[in-house]
Amino acid sequence: MRYLHAMVRVRDLDASLRFFRDGLGLVETRRKDYPQGRFTLVYLGAPDNPEAEVELTWNYDDEDYGSARNFGHLAFAVDDIYATCEHLQAQGITINRPPRDGRMAFVRSPDAISIELLQKGEALPPREPWSSMPNVGSW
């Protein structure tokens, strides 16, 4: 058996690509359009292991997918959790659970998919403004 990908349904493909590609730094590995089925699949991988993909499924017809909390989360290891969170904030992305411990943070995609960010290796020393930032919303 081989792990292939995790699929998330997205309501706005452009907003989701801005989040996953431009915000998190994932790389588009392939794309398949199925106009007859009225959907597009976009596969993204992290630079360090692009073979473990996230599949964004965009259905042409709008649909309410609910809060997406029941999905759980996608997790990515990052080189510098503080720099990653600063970059995401600069992209206009809310840090729902700040990296107060220098180890873990949570953000949400435009479709409310929870994304866990974990510091590679040991936790970084706690530092401001992260140490005193409160949680925002849910993740």
Active-site residue set: 116
Q: Give the tokens for residue 62.
A: 């709008």
- The DSSP letter of residue 121 is S
DSSP for residue 22: I
Task: Determine the Cα–Cα distance for residues 56 and 116; give it in Å rounded to an integer.
Answer: 17
Tokens of 101: 């411990």
Q: Which residues contact 43 (CB under 8 A, 6 or more apart)?
A: 5, 28, 29, 30, 31, 53, 54, 55, 56
